[in-house]
């Protein structure tokens, strides 16, 4: 703003008195990076005129994102490597700037020195973004110094640029608290970046409105910090408190890294950069190796967790990653990696082709010729380039990589070595880990080895008399393989193995170590998630994309969630009434039950295993599980991973076979003290009786459902249609909480049905491994036949079959058409019984009698889940209050989470899976009273 339009306000601020018409603002954006590009877009959204964009020169053939964005909007772009020469503005550069007639300069992020002839050349001046609460931390490294100095608050300033060092008047400021685990990256992403973009646009709006203040900076608390892009300023002083060491490392965590010197045995020093620091409590370092850093307060230690630095106050700082030269390594691997050289591989003909593919991917990203020593990051690659590289390599070569692998192997020779090594390791996976008989699946562009024997006491073994059962692919109706069919004697061996492990090796594993094993298992499941999802698709008919996200994804989530609970299972102190004058202390202890038997269903083979077993193992129990007879293959692949994760023999045992023999043997066994079952209500009743008759073992049952879904006329209809279909057709309808009956208000009934039928006709039915498939085959032939019979009964009783109701014609595989029934009366068979398939059962209701509607919804012996769609909060809450169901969804459906308890009422069973409450199913409470 010009001096002529300024007055001093009552608050001492300089305020504009004359409004500036938006069309008078002709903005020049000077800067670079994604931040500047987003500021440009927001300014355009606010209808400001941007006459030109000035950014840095291209790096090779790579231009800054600001230039790319401006060009998309047809804004003139100017790229200057410098604005001045020998302290004097370059005439042709200055002339190009002046030719635009800019009246306001906006500098969102600018690394170049802009001459004062430009800063003052705009009528309304220049505003600049600075990532600190000025006047504190002036200079180029403000965010880093905010962390290094241990500031409790961080923030940014938008100021009027002058010829000082970030000393111009303040236009606006924003601030946020600094959290204990904040790094430069997290502060930037959480606050400085998104709020900064918004604030820059707000500042321009204020200028346009004539309300932008000019608040002179105070010199109280002012500081100007050294620039951390200079290497001499990046060295960390290690003879200071642990907190100051931690703050310095996290202040350089995203760029550069804190420089330190490790003392080698020969007296030389190896420069390294430190990343991923955290302050530690007391830790055991008995098995750690010792190393020394130059000028450190004390020794440093290396173990599997990382490198531990000793502060001058005796406290420890853990460092997760090191960078030596351009290569990043896990800090825990210092001794393994020190002096290690990449030995050139002798490549096969196929691997030479892979090298050529990799070279072309690198060239396409970096726009340079690729040599063995080409460094990915030295060529200007950024974080999005890392993501692109990983995804393109995955797509082209089907090699599982993570972003971290690029940082660990930044030059082409190292990266090639990493990819080839991983390929060889993957192709030679058979024979690694436990020995087993296997079926080789060649599906989904993968070669997957899957065990076919049962898993007992840490080994894969045949069933008694080598008895087997056939496993059928529901998509092709062909036999995939034969798996072991356990006998009663096999189950007895498995239970005794679990009992010995519970009393022996597993009892010696601490709660925290138990959690670490679970985390490792989850990591292995993550590494093998595409294999597990492929097996699930082939074995159970699950659509691959759903299997990847839900069947496997939620399984991994469950193991990680419960891994975090292992060392948080606590008792309590109880204030009992003592017999005076004595004192009494009463405490409770939560203890594992012992050997737990689990029997899981066929609709979510791996996920149901994980929901139950993760809580069971977290509580400290051992387990014998019988997966579903028709699809046990992911359970057997999972068993292989438990060995690789390091679980002691006997802790996890998998017995395959049928329910009447293997399942019954687990239920009846006297050493099994807890039984967890998911399946049908009739089988659940038999299991409960067996648990009582055998040894009164504790049991939890997740059984059948006929979940009501109420759809009121005031709902978001399109959302209700979409999620109403999901409530029925999700996972082919083989979903325990599927909406077994939809009650649709008469006002919207016909439109709802019309939209559902229209959407059904667009559903792709077919091979579950095809990424376009939305609806795969039913799990097995007997279930398909049951669905056909179910629909025939519905038609016979007078319900209107709108669409579907039969097996998909002229197609191999157990495919059943998505089905819709309307005009369903409350007493009909299909209104009372669960289909467990893709059958939508719709009844009408009138909104005049809410209580009668709830009564209809509750008129079932099941009580697993329920749902309601309405914009009326009162109706939603009343329904949630009155409905007899363990789960209530409001304006959503199928939204489960590993932290939220899951289980039913009435004949849908009792007990909970998931959440903290599930731990109670696998724990017993001991009360200890001490008199003193």
Q: What are phi and psi of 415, to 5 degrees?
A: -65, -45
Neighbouring residues of 197: CB distance < 8 A, sequence distance ≥ 6: 35, 38, 39, 42, 108
- List the Cα angle 142/63/407 in 5-degree steps: 65
> Is 648:514 a contact under the CB 8 Å cutoff?
no
Long-range (24+ apart) CB contacts under 8 A made by 73-79 are: 73/40, 73/44, 75/40, 75/50, 75/51, 76/51, 76/52, 76/100, 77/52, 77/53, 78/52, 78/53, 78/54, 79/54, 79/55
Residue 640 makes CB contacts below 8 A (sequence gap 6+) with 433, 434, 436, 451, 455, 460
Contact 102, 50 (CB under 8 A): no
96/73 Cα distance (integer angstroms): 20
- Verify whether residue 47 is a known catalytic residue: no
Rg of the Cα trace of the chain?
33
Phi, psi of 155 (to 5 degrees): 170, -165
Contact (CB, 8 A) for 791 and 824: no
DSSP 3-state of 203: helix
How many Cα neighbours within 13 Å face the side chain of 882? Answer: 19
Cα angle for residues 800, 802, 803 (degrees, 5° grid): 135
* Neighbouring residues of 659: CB distance < 8 A, sequence distance ≥ 6: 599, 626, 629, 683
The three-state (H, E, C) secondary structure of 457-496, written as one string: CCEEECCHHHCEEEEECCCCCCEEEEEECCCHHHHHHHHH
Q: How far is CA 539 from the centre of its chain?
A: 26
Q: How far apart are the first and last CA of the chain?
A: 79
What lies within 8 Å, CB to CB, of 95 at 6+ separation is none
**C-alpha closest to that of 898 among 641, 431, 435, 559:** 559
Supply angle C-alpha 592, 593, 594, rounded to 5. 100
Is the preceding omega at residue 135 within 30 degrees of 0, hence cis? yes
| 8 Å CB contact between 518 and 651 | no
Is 481 a catalytic site residue? no
Torsion of CA 278, 280, 284, 290, to 10 degrees: 50
Question: Is 702 marked active-site?
Answer: yes
What are the residues facing 590 on neighbouring strands?
925
Is the bond into 836 cis (omega within 30 degrees of 0)? no
Q: Which of 38, 48, 110, 130 is catalytic?
A: 130
Q: Which two tokens stand for residue 192?
A: 């400085």
From the candidates 202, 702, 734, 817, give the one annotated as an active-site residue.
Answer: 702
Residues found in the chain: 932
Rounded CA-CA distance 581/566 in Å is 39
**Active-site annotation holder among 736, 749, 780, 834:** 736
Picking from 761, 763, 819, the residue whose alpha carbon sits closest to that of residue 793 is 819
| CA atoms of 919 and 612, how far apart (whole Å) | 9
Burial class (CB in 10 A: 0-12, 13-18, 19+), 814: buried
Q: What strand order describes the sheet that includes 584-592?
A: 573-574, 584-592, 923-931
Q: In Å, how far are 36, 77, 202 from 32, measured between CA atoms? A: 5, 12, 20
Catalytic residue IDs: 130, 702, 736
């Amino acid at each position: 703003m010009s001096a002529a339009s300024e007055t001093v306000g009552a608050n001492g601020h300089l305020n504009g008195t004359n409004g500036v018409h938006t069309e008078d603002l002709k903005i020049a954006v000077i800067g670079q990076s994604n931040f500047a590009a987003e500021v440009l877009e927001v300014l355009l959204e606010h209808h400001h005129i941007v006459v030109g964009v000035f950014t840095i020169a291209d790096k090779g053939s790579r231009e800054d994102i600001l230039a790319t964005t401006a060009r998309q909007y047809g804004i003139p772009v100017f790229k200057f490597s410098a604005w001045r020469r020998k302290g004097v503005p370059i005439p042709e550069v200055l002339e190009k700037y002046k030719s635009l007639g800019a009246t306001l300069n906006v500098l969102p992020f600018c690394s170049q020195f802009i001459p004062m002839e430009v800063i003052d050349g705009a009528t309304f001046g220049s505003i600049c973004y600075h990532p600190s609460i000025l006047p504190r931390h002036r200079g180029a490294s403000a965010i880093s110094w905010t962390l290094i100095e241990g500031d409790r608050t961080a923030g940014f300033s938008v100021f009027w640029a002058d010829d000082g060092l970030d000393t111009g008047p303040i236009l606006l400021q924003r601030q946020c608290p600094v959290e204990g685990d904040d790094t430069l990256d997290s502060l930037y992403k959480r606050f400085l970046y998104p709020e900064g973009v918004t604030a820059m646009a707000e500042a321009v709006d204020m200028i346009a409105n004539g309300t932008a203040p000019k608040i002179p900076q105070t010199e109280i608390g002012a500081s100007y910090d050294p620039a951390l892009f200079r290497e001499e300023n990046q060295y960390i002083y290690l003879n200071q408190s642990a907190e100051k060491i931690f703050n310095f490392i996290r202040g350089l965590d995203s760029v550069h890294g804190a420089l330190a010197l490790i003392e080698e045995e020969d007296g030389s020093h190896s420069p390294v950069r430190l990343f991923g620091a955290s302050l530690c409590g007391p830790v055991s370092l008995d098995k750690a190796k010792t190393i020394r850093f130059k000028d450190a307060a004390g020794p440093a230690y290396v173990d599997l967790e990382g490198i531990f630095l000793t502060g001058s106050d005796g406290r420890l700082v853990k460092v997760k990653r090191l960078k030596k030269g351009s290569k990043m390594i896990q800090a825990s691997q210092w001794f393994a990696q020190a002096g290690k050289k990449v030995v050139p591989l002798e490549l096969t003909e196929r691997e030479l082709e892979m090298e050529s593919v990799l070279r072309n991917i690198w060239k396409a990203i970096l726009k340079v010729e690729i040599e063995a020593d080409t460094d990915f990051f030295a060529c200007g690659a950024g974080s999005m380039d890392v993501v692109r590289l990983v995804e393109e390599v995955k797509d082209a070569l089907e090699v599982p990589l993570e972003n971290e692998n690029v940082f660990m192997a930044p030059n082409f020779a190292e990266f090639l070595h990493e990819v080839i090594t991983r390929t060889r390791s993957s192709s030679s996976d058979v024979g690694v880990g436990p020995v087993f008989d296997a079926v080789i699946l060649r599906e989904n562009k993968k070669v997957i080895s899957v065990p076919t024997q049962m898993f007992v006491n840490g080994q894969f073994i045949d069933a008694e008399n080598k008895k087997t059962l056939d496993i059928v692919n529901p998509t092709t109706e062909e036999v995939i393989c034969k798996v072991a069919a356990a006998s009663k004697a096999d189950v007895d061996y498995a239970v005794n193995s679990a009992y010995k492990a519970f009393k022996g090796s597993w009892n010696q594993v601490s709660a925290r170590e138990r959690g670490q094993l679970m985390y490792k298992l989850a990591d292995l499941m993550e590494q093998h998630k595409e294999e597990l999802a492929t097996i699930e698709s082939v074995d159970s008919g699950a659509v691959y994309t759903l299997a990847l996200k839900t069947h496997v994804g939620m399984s991994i989530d469950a193991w990680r969630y419960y891994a975090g609970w292992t060392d948080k299972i606590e008792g309590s102190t109880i204030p009992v009434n003592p017999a005076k004058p004595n004192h009494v202390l009463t405490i409770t202890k939560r203890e594992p039950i012992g050997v737990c038997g689990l029997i899981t269903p066929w609709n979510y083979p791996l996920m149901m295993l994980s929901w139950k077993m993760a809580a069971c193992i977290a509580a400290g129990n051992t387990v014998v599980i019988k997966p579903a007879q028709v699809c046990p293959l992911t359970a057997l692949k999972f068993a292989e991973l438990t060995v690789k994760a390091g679980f002691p023999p006997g802790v996890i045992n998998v017995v395959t076979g049928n329910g009447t023999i293997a399942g019954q043997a687990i239920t009846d066994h006297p050493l099994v003290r807890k039984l967890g079952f998911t399946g049908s209500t009739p089988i659940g009743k038999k299991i409960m009786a067996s648990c009582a008759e055998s040894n009164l073992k504790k049991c939890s049952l997740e059984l059948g459902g006929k979940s009501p879904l109420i759809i009121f006329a005031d709902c978001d209809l399109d959302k209700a249609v979409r999620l109403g279909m999901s409530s029925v057709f999700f996972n082919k309808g083989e979903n325990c909480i599927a909406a077994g009956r939809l009650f649709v208000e008469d006002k919207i009934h016909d439109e709802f049905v019309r939209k559902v039928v229209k959407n059904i006709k667009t559903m792709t039915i077919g091979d579950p491994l095809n990424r376009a498939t939305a609806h795969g085959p039913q799990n097995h032939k007997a279930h398909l036949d049951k669905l056909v019979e179910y629909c025939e009964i519905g038609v016979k009783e007078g319900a209107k079959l709108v669409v579907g109701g039969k097996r998909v014609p002229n197609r191999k595989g157990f495919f059943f058409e998505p089905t819709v029934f309307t005009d369903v009366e409350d007493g009909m068979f299909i209104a009372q019984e669960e289909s467990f398939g893709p059958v939508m059962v719709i009844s009408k209701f009138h909104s005049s009698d809410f209580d009668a509607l709830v009564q209809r919804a509750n008129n079932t012996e099941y009580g697993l889940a329920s749902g309601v769609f309405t914009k009326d909060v009162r109706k939603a809450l009343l329904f949630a209050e009155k409905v007899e169901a363990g789960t209530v969804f409001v304006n959503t459906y199928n939204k489960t989470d590993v932290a939220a308890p899951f289980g039913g009422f009435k004949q849908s069973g009792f007990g909970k899976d998931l959440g903290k409450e599930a731990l109670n199913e696998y724990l017993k409470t001991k009360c200890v009273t001490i008199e003193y």
